[in-house]
Structure 1
Amino acid sequence: MNPEWNQMETVAQAYRLGTRYLEGRQVESPRFISELLLRTALGWDRTGLFTRFHEPLPFEAAQRFITWLKQRAEGIPVQYLIGEQEFFGRSFRVEPSVLIPRPETEILVETVLREADRIWKGKAVTAVDMGTGSGAIAVTLATERPDWEVVAVDRSPAALKVARQNGAKNGSGERIRWMQGDWLEPLLKRDLRVDVVVSNPPYIPAGEIPHLDVEVRVHEPRMALDGGPDGLDPYRTLVRGIPAVLKNPGLVVFEVGEDQSETVGEMLEESLAGAQVFFVSDLAGRPRVVAARTGMG
């Protein structure tokens, strides 16, 4: 054990020592991470932490905090340590069986909500989230639009377990149909047709994964990252099957990686005759979302 950790008598000392420890190991945002891990270990909110800064540090909280500091220094994402990540203003449980929801995926959800309202004028629709992972997309859609029928599909039983927990946590789990299977297969088996297909599939080319940050390449599930040799295999599978499940009019919305938008857009144009394909950029100006409207005349 780091000898300095014996000096963690108060909350304030723990915060300072945690910050110094993370700084020494070149961990990004050491002050923020030290604060977050400490108050989570204590079970306090931010106000509680700073108003009780000079209180004695309970032994169990100290041990938890020290363990988390070591794990964070080894590259384990802080979201996995504290077990949650915020998405669309809601808290989602995350663990190593699911990808940590990213802020840019909120653009995907915003696009689905906006375009569906434009097409169906507020009427209820059926939407499927392919490769739901933590359930962030499906749960957000079901919570933002309580009258929608939402289906969530994932091949991983472990991921679906987390997604179900997030549905229950956010009060929409009972309104989501959870299906385990490979991409569109569960829908095709049930002859289920939908108005909206949304997906944030794995899109990182397999050869690039070894070059990712350690916290991503080692600790996040490879199944949720690996998009095949060029990163486009999941889109090929989805686009090939979508005509069999999409109603008319219909909406397809994908998140894509860097330099993939044009190719994915062309796939949708070829697969969905007469589709209106468009792109939505992220805050950095990169095309992040590729979408297609069908049956719009």
Structure 2
Amino acid sequence: MFGFSVYQLLWYFFIYAVLGWCVEVIFCTATTGQWVNRGFLNGPLCPIYGFGMVIVLLCLTPLQGSLPLLFLGSFLLTSALELVTGFVLKKAFHTTWWDYSDQPFNLGGYVCLGFSLAWGLGGMAAVRLLHPPVEKFVAFLPRPVGWTLLGAFGLAFLIDLAATLTTLIGLERDLRELERIAAALRRGSDAISRNLSDAALAADEKLEEGRDALPAKLAELEVRRDFLRAKLVDSRLFGAGRLMRAFPAMQNLKHSDALAELKAEFKARLPR
């Protein structure tokens, strides 16, 4: 396949996905002062880096003798991958995971010139400097051992992906319920604040029964709301809490208010 075997490409994907995760963690730690598991998945793997380097190697290996062409190709390919990935994730999960809208020369908030230039330089350096020892390492591994490790890595990747997708489906469901509870609490508070007259209550016994039951119902809703928030916020190593910490700029297009409140509570609970 363009000079590479499937075996090689699989190894390159996993190696660069792990190295990309390391880069993300180091960058985030240096800029925020806190260690954060920066990745869409729970494990130490950023698939976008793996896919990005595989695409770069497939398309640009013939151009590696020319630094300008290698830089330009890396710049364009990695920017296109980041753009497509952000768009697909937004459509699939109704969520934006990163946002470059505050950066100059950005495109829809998905990509920006500054990071695209960095990806171009990184791709160029990876092909010329990093990939030769990686290629030698993959060639050094005995094939039976290599395939066994690839099988284990692939299984772990699929399990992690399934767990992450389950988390996202659960987060969408919980955000929807939090918004439903918030709307019910607003309606209940409005009903109490109207302070219905005694005459009106006397004219309708059912109304009075409903009014007596309303505070208890609101209390039940508040307990359910607090339980959902605690469940989501306290999952810092895995689950929704980890995603909110890994992607502080994430926004849900369908339940923006509920997610904003959840993120504010999550941020308030983080250690100073």
The one of the two structures with greater contact order (alpha-carbon pairs below 8 A, sep at least 6) is 2
Q: Which has the higher helix share?
A: 2
* TM-score normalised per structure 2: 0.30
Pair member with larger Rg: 2
* TM-score normalised per structure 1: 0.28
Q: Which has the higher strand share?
A: 1
